[in-house]
Amino acid sequence: MVVTAKAPDTTRVRWREAWRIIASRYPPIALFERVSDDPAVWDVLIDLEQATNPRVRDETGEIALVPPERRVTGPNASWVMAPFTHVNRNGSRFSDGSYGVYYAARTLQTAVKETGYHFARFAADSNDPPRREDMRVLLGHVSATLHDVSKLDDKSSRLVMDRESYAHSRPFAANLRESGSDGIVYPSVRDKGGSCIAAFWPDVAGVPVQERHLQYEWDGSRFSRWFDYKEERWVSAF
């Protein structure tokens, strides 16, 4: 039986740097950055563009999932909007797949550890041979009041932050989101001492810039190392 943890206290999170890593194969969605400065009219403008270009629907995703007042505009806005309009239907730690979440870490190291784990898990599940994948590093900032998992009691914290199972974290997050929460700050389970956020809406996370590219290496059995194009060096994942 899944017992949903009670809402923890909130913490004012002020990070000058918030690191997010995504696969480079996902390009920016230019339409979000040029349709209008008024997010409230995006639905109509996107419908008009779809009338002449059916591919726009694939590009913009499900814009209706984000209320106009929670949308962000301008250069690089697509990096924040995309997780909410192109929802991962397989879900994640704090989503059952019915809504999007913007994840970011306080340091680059934590972001690599978190995304490297999921990169390896996907490769293993797919029985991939040795391969490499380019990744895009986004650097933003956060200034928001978020529910703090570290303020849960020990038992609830262990359940919500289980290393493998999301059985407790998903209903926990859904209840917070439905009650009006802007998101969650929580300890990384892949990088001891690291911190992460899960923003429930685009306007919670600061609009990032592209900071660098990395390349992840799957050696056929694990995420073994990554190449930093900015520093021009390989870094062991262990």
* Partner residues linked to 191 by β-bridges: none
Average pLDDT across the chain, whole number:
88
Q: Residue 41: pLDDT band by 50, 70, 90 thresholds?
A: low
pLDDT at 28: 63
The confidence band for 27, taking pLDDT boundaries of 50, 70 and 90, is low
Whole-number pLDDT of residue 56: 44
Whole-number Å distance between alpha carbons of 1 and 214: 41
**pLDDT tens string 88-122:** 999 999 999 999 999 999 999 999 999 999 999 99
Residue 55 has a pLDDT of 47
Enter the tokens of residue 38. 């008024």
pLDDT at residue 153 is higher than 80: yes
Higher pLDDT, 237 or 36: 237
